[in-house]
Structure 1
Amino acid sequence: MIDYKLLEALATVIETGGFERAGAVLGLSQSAISQRIRNLEIRTGQPVLLRSPVPKATPAGQQLLNHVQQVQLLERDLAKSLPALSEPATRLRIALNADSLATWWAYAVGEFCLEEALLLDMVVEDQDIALRQMREGDVAACICSNPQPVAGARCVPLGTMTYLPLATPEYIERYFSQGFNELSLRSAPAIIFGPNDQLQHRFLAQSGYHGAFPYHLCPSSEGFVKLALAGMGYGMIPEVQARLEIKAGRLVRIAPGQSLDVELYWHFWRNSGGVIARLTTALKAAHT
């Protein structure tokens, strides 16, 4: 069996992004953390970390991280029946997209976290690639648009987020006065969340446009809306997030009647214990 203090050191180095910060969290020196990682590598017979400026788990390290996350959740369930084992709170690391975090997420999990004494480490990642964070052992669960679970995990559909291509009336008059066409799309600045954000490309492809277009990068869901309101560009904004702006006429669709639906899925490890099962029930209830 592996000493779980060694696994704890590995998980903390990855979560905090460094040996010194991991030592501060665990109340150990940097050299003590390094020694625990070396002992773990001796025990497994292979490297578990890539010691770059920001440490990253090797494939073997990823397997260990997935294991320790599941064990921590199972230990939490055990503590419910053996209160002497319980700690003040449990931490759960989850990857989710910024739009979910800015809209429905807090309402779905707020009461649950209070009742369960659960602390969340939320990793904001694009919904198209959040599953990679889970596969690499960085998170215990994730929300993404991929319906295919990784080996050893389960996948539950949560529902659909509808995105609208929105901009100000003044912006539309400036760039789309001649209509929504290839010529206007080549020159009209868009707003994209980040380099991995493909919503804009999917919407344009759905509309028959596959060419290049100018764009701003804005890694903030709230900032995204503000940039659109400032007339800097048009972007794919969740309908639920823009309802007031649409009702007031401050944002309108650049292409009347067009939208893009994104299916969201909740991924979690099969042997994660009761807390994940109860969280899954809460998330499903929020979307029914």
Structure 2
Amino acid sequence: MIDYKLLEALATVIECNGFERAGEALGLSQSAVSQRLKTLEVRLGQPVLIRHPHLEPTPAGRRLLNHYQQVQLLERDLRSALPTLETASPRLRIAINADSLATWWADAVGRFCRDEGLLLDLVIEDQDVGLRRLRDGEVAACLCASDQPIAGARCVPLGTMVYHPYATPAYIARYFPQGPSEAAFRHAPAIVYGPHDQLQHRFLAQCGYHGAFPYHLCPSSEGFVRLAAAGIGYGMMPHRQVADLVKAGQLASLDPQRRLEVPLYWHFWRHSGALLERLTGMLGEVQLT
């Protein structure tokens, strides 16, 4: 049987990023928190926390944290049946792509989080690889481009995000005076979100180009747009995010006839409680574009 006070100590150490702050949050001494972690590791027979060079859970620790989070969500459901039961505000750990966070996510979940007293722990991950976080037990839900459900989880389609290749008019005039071409793609600097981002590659393949191309790496959705607006590259961006810049003439599509449609799916663990079910129902009504 699991002693949930030990799991609470693990979760608080990770959340507070330290034993001293975790002790203050739990009303315990730093040594008492450390002792709880040692007891958990002894009972489990393996470490749950990597202490150096920085604090992070081991694979076993991640699974315990995910289990603890699901237990908190289920306890949250008991409030309606047992009003005198005291439970802490649940914290939901979700893997989400940066573009959704920068566009529609906050408006979609803001009121829900306020009404439900829900705390979010968002892990920014590319839409093509976020499902791995759920599979490894690191998160309770994820937003990604895969429609393949994993064992023990549900998959719900949410809609499609539409991307266009945007750049400044001056940039387009310099690098694409005759429109998209193999020669232009070979020399025009692009902007790529990160090593797992394949949107640029998919766009080039759509245009018939499969060769190498120069690119900037920018792991920030807002920074991505700012770099494009500064005229140093072109990149795939959702129209919703840059509509004002396009309207003002600061950005334009270098190929108005082409776009990429990226379907998004909401994956979450089954049997995580009514709160997650209600969040899923609410997300199913959101317009992504």
TM-score calculated relative to the size of structure 1: 0.91
1:77 aligns with 2:77: yes
Percent same amino acid among aligned pairs?
67
Paired letter, 2:8: E
Q: In the TM superposition, what is the alpha-carbon distance from 1:24 to its structure 2 partner? A: 4.3
Paired letter, 1:286: V
Corresponding residue for 2:4?
A: 4
Paired letter, 1:120: L
Q: In the TM superposition, what is the alpha-carbon distance from 1:178 to its structure 2 partner? A: 3.5
Q: In the TM superposition, what is the alpha-carbon distance from 1:203 to its structure 2 partner? A: 1.6
Q: In the TM superposition, what is the alpha-carbon distance from 1:20 to its structure 2 partner? A: 4.4
Paired letter, 1:191: I
Give structure 2 stretches of 5+ with no counterpart.
none
Corresponding residue for 2:278?
A: 278
Paired letter, 1:4: Y
Structure 1 residue matching 2:53: 3-state secondary structure = coil
1:153 aligns with 2:153: yes
The superposition leaves residues 51-109 of structure 1 with CA deviations (integer Å, 9 ceiling, x where unpaired) of 44234433433332221111110000012221222346332222211111111111211
The superposition leaves residues 210-254 of structure 1 with CA deviations (integer Å, 9 ceiling, x where unpaired) of 222222222222222222111111011001112222233322111
Q: After the TM superposition, which residues 213-232 of structure 1 pair with which residues of structure 2 at under 5 Å, given as runs?
A: 213-232=213-232
User: Is the CA contact 2:63–2:138 (under 8 Å) kept in the aligned structure 1?
Assistant: no
Inter-partner Cα distance in structure 2 for 1:211 and 1:49: 43
Corresponding residue for 2:138?
A: 138
Paired letter, 2:28: L
Paired letter, 1:6: L
Inter-partner Cα distance in structure 2 for 1:159 and 1:54: 38
Corresponding residue for 2:241?
A: 241
User: Is the CA contact 2:144–2:265 (under 8 Å) kept in the aligned structure 1?
Assistant: yes
Q: In the TM superposition, what is the alpha-carbon distance from 1:266 to its structure 2 partner? A: 0.8
User: Is the CA contact 1:57–1:136 (under 8 Å) kept in the aligned structure 2?
Assistant: no
Do the aligned partners of residues 183 and 133 (structure 1) sit closer, same or farther apart at CA in structure 2, a change above 3 Å counting? Answer: same
Do the aligned partners of residues 264 and 51 (structure 1) sit closer, same or farther apart at CA in structure 2, a change above 3 Å counting? Answer: same
Inter-partner Cα distance in structure 1 for 2:264 and 2:37: 36
Do the aligned partners of residues 33 and 130 (structure 1) sit closer, same or farther apart at CA in structure 2, a change above 3 Å counting? Answer: farther
**Comparing 268-277 and 54-63, the one that deviates more:** 54-63
Inter-partner Cα distance in structure 2 for 1:170 and 1:38: 61
Inter-partner Cα distance in structure 1 for 2:185 and 2:131: 31
Q: After the TM superposition, which residues 103-182 of structure 1 pair with which residues of structure 2 at under 5 Å, given as runs?
A: 103-182=103-182
Paired letter, 2:264: L
Q: In the TM superposition, what is the alpha-carbon distance from 1:18 to its structure 2 partner? A: 4.4
Do the aligned partners of residues 193 and 23 (structure 1) sit closer, same or farther apart at CA in structure 2, a change above 3 Å counting? Answer: farther
CA RMSD between the two structures = 2.1
TM-score calculated relative to the size of structure 2: 0.91
Give structure 1 stretches of 5+ with no counterpart.
none
Paired letter, 1:105: W
Structure 1 residue matching 2:137: 3-state secondary structure = coil
User: Is the CA contact 2:75–2:87 (under 8 Å) kept in the aligned structure 1?
Assistant: no
Inter-partner Cα distance in structure 1 for 2:131 and 2:54: 20
Paired letter, 2:12: T
Paired letter, 2:237: I
User: Is the CA contact 1:76–1:86 (under 8 Å) kept in the aligned structure 2?
Assistant: no
Paired letter, 2:168: T
**Comparing 198-207 and 68-77, the one that deviates more:** 198-207
Number of aligned residue pairs = 288
Inter-partner Cα distance in structure 2 for 1:68 and 1:142: 17
